[in-house]
Amino acid sequence: MAFPSTKEGTTAFGNELLVRAARAPNPDRTIRIMRTREYPKQIWYFLSCFIALVSFFQAISFLVRRYRRSGTSGVLGDSEKGPREPSSGSRIQWRRLPYAVANLYRIVAFRSTVTMGSYSLNLAEVLVTFMYIIALFTWTFIRTTSSSGVKFQISYWANRSGVLASSQFPLITVLGTKNNALSLITGISYEKLNYLHRMTARVVFVLLCLHAGSRIRLGVDEDLGEHWFQMGVTAGCAFLLLCLVSVRPLRARSYELFFYSHMVLVLLILVGAYSHTAQFHFQKYVLPCLLIWGLDRFIRGIRLVLFNYSYFSFSSSTRTSLDANVELLSPDCVRLTLKRPPHFHWSAGQTAYLIMPTVSTLPFEAHPFTIASIDFTVGTATTEEGDSPPATPTGEKKAAGPSFCKELIFLINPRGGVTKRLAEAAEKEVTIKTYIDGPYGHSPDLSSYDTSVFVAGGSGVSYTLPMFLVTVKRVRDGTSRCRKVTFIWCIRGSESIHWISEALGNTILLAPRSLDMSICIFVTRAESQVARLANTENISPTSSTNPLGTATSILLNLPPNLRGEVIWLFLSVDLSPLPALYAKPFVFQFLAR
């Protein structure tokens, strides 16, 4: 075979070789495509196994609580004579070993914290965060060595990182919805899942930045004019803005800005991501997000109509039956009282979303608040064996905290935005139209614990007060193992006591003699006068010493059979010399742990 010897012949032959080389199959391309399609499935297998493991332990915990609750009656004995001590012995001690291990796990996982500036995460959150980061980036960079031996070949993980990121969009959406299956099967309430929602979104954003940077490194000049490319850039920019407005300082300072921008930016992200991934047939990871969000909104809409049906009635006389009364109890507390809608029931510690069109910027805004009342009547207090407490001037016998039973009460701290406008409406003593959606969150079951301690500051008592009332009721009914309960409340001034004074005073009268109960109120501003409880008279203070200031121990004028059974401690503490750091909520939570 003769080869061309001229210069032109040599050039033509070289071009032919280049064409043949270009037509030759790339041995890496098929492998890259296969792994890019397979690895998102594998990471979902991993996440599914983790969720199943959490659900398994949740089921075991539920069965253990039921078992301990079934044995409660044998441990409690007569609620007035006091609990019977279990017989000692090695057999019983070994039976308690699993409970001790479980309590040790809770202490290590949920009380041990890692603090970074103003952020504080418990050890469980830190471990889950690192696990998720390691899993995503392991599947991103694993097996990225090319056939020529180049490790971490950029062409292997450039597209893979983008596909892995888009595959996590359904998880982010589920974690951010109020009505989701994860809460049902894992027992983790939506407000705790909200941290995972923010965490997974930020990790996915880093992965998208990796995808964008690697594609720019490989060259995007030919794609700049493509619609799918432009939509991808739009989604990425919207994601960046969303990460910026969702940081805690900005979110806490201007929640309404975050609320509105979140809705708009998420819509841009989903629309842009769908158009971008559809070009490569990966839109199957984005479409479920719209379905999940739509299902959540549909369920919330059904609940709104069900619980607020009188507003949708054609009868004008029933349209105001659910209007809420707002009272300005103090400059830092608004009490909103709402008649319980039919079919609406809740447990202590749960929250509800309130839609108040007359005070909110947009008529469909929904703001979460903790329900400070309980969904049942505790009972009638007794002073002697079988005797009732003194009747009121009208001849009626008071139940334990009647204003906190069988009606919806919210203690709201007015700050900015809608809560500030709510305080302004409370000054006018008007009723406002209020739609309620809920309840949300899980109520912890404390009936299997021997000791319960409730700690709150300011309006945070909305969570601990109903838990305290429920605990006393269960002990009174003989359905709780609790032997000692401590209620601690930190407030700025003694005038705040009347927020819950009636409920606390009557609960003291209702508590069985077998319950060792302590109520401690700490006032962080030194004052000359001590506020009195609504249900106490002739309070005689005795002074004692406290390292931080002056402490006053108050003996309540209780019936003889209850006197000495309840410890009421009122601490007036001047914290003004201390740094402002100690007033920060995260420090208060840390000290409570």
pLDDT tens-digit map of 246-305: 988 888 788 778 888 999 999 999 999 999 999 999 999 999 999 999 898 898 888 888
pLDDT for 85 equals: 52
Q: What is the pLDDT of residues 185-236, one digit of tens each?
A: 888 888 888 999 999 999 999 999 999 999 999 888 888 889 999 999 999 9
pLDDT for res 313? 63
- 17-51 residue pLDDT tens: 445 445 556 777 888 889 899 999 999 999 999 99
DSSP string of 315-371, one letter each residue: -TTSTTTTPEEEEEEETTEEEEEEPPPTT----TT-EEEEE-TTTSSSTT--EEEE-
**pLDDT score of 120:** 80
Please check the confidence at residue 549 and state whether its pLDDT lies above 70.
no
DSSP state of 191: H
Q: What single-letter amino acid sits at 309?
A: Y
289: left (phi over 0), alpha (psi -120 to 50) or beta: alpha
Nearest to 404 by CA among 356, 489, 470, 475: 470
Between 77-91, 99-113, 265-279, 335-349, the lowest mean confidence (pLDDT) is in: 77-91
Contacts of 131 (CB under 8 A, 6+ apart): 50
Mean local confidence (pLDDT), 542-555:
33
d(CA 184, CA 335): 31
- Residue 340 pLDDT more than 70? yes
More confident residue, 106 or 316: 106
pLDDT value at residue 172: 95
Closest CA to 575 of 527, 528, 524: 524
User: Across residues 394-399, what is the average pLDDT?
Assistant: 38
d(CA 208, CA 371): 40
The single residue listed with the structure tokens 């009656």 is 73
User: What is the pLDDT at residue 240?
Assistant: 95
Q: Tell me the C-alpha distance between 46 and 171, whole Å.
A: 13
pLDDT for 135 beyond 60 = yes
Over residues 389-398, the mean pLDDT reads: 39
Q: Contact 316/324 with Cβ under 8 angstroms?
A: no
486 touches 521 (CB < 8 A)? no
Q: What three-state secondary structure class fits 287?
A: helix
The predicted pLDDT at position 447 comes to: 82
Per the model's pLDDT, the better-predicted residue between 593 and 61 turns out to be 61
Closest CA to 476 of 58, 44, 78, 41: 78
Q: What residue has token string 């889950």?
A: 128
What tokens does 410 get? Answer: 């919210």
Which pLDDT score, from 0 to 100, does residue 8 have? 52
Q: Is the pLDDT of residue 399 over 50?
A: no
Q: Are 239 and 172 in contact (CB under 8 A)?
A: no
Map out the domains of the chain with their CATH numbers: 28-65+98-303 (no CATH), 316-379+403-440 (2.40.30.10), 444-529 (no CATH)
Return the structure tokens found at 560.
């003889």
Contact status, residue 441 vs residue 190, Cβ threshold 8 Å: yes
Beta bridge partners of 516: 484
Total H helices, total E strands in the chain: 18, 15
Band (317; pLDDT cuts 50, 70, 90): low
Nearest C-alpha neighbor of 34 from the set 132, 143, 117? 143
What is the predicted pLDDT for the residue at 41? 94
Strand arrangement, sheet containing 367-370:
367-370, 351-355, 435-440
Neighbour tally for 209: CB within 10 Å: 15
The predicted pLDDT at position 499 comes to: 85
**What is d(CA 141, CA 347) in angstroms, rounded to the nearest whole number?**
47
Q: Read off the DSSP letter of residue 389.
A: P
HSE, side-chain direction, 13 A CA sphere, residue 485: 30
Q: Residue 109 gets which letter from DSSP? A: I
Whether residue 409 has pLDDT greater than 50:
yes
Per residue in 152-197, pLDDT tens? 888 889 999 999 999 999 999 999 988 888 888 888 888 888 999 9
Please tell me the predicted confidence (pLDDT) of residue 403: 56
Report pLDDT for 62: 77
Q: Which of 62-76, 502-516, 560-574 has the lowest mean pLDDT?
A: 560-574
Q: For position 254, what pLDDT does the model report?
A: 80
What is the pLDDT, as a whole number, of residue 234? 94
Q: Retrieve residue 28's tokens.
A: 């890496």
**Summary mean pLDDT of the chain:** 76
> Cβ neighbours of residue 129 under 8 Å, at least 6 residues apart?
121, 199, 203
The string of DSSP codes covering 233-283 is HHHHHHHHHHHHHTSHHHHHH-HHHHHHHHHHHHHHHHHHHHHHHHTTT-G
C-alpha 414/C-alpha 331 separation (Å) is: 8
Give the model confidence (pLDDT) of 410-449 as tens digits: 999 888 788 888 888 888 877 888 888 888 888 888 887 8
349: left (phi over 0), alpha (psi -120 to 50) or beta: left
Question: How many whole angstroms from its chain centre is CA 213?
Answer: 35
Type of residue found at 267: L
Angle of helix 169-176 versus helix 154-167 axis, rounded to 10 = 30
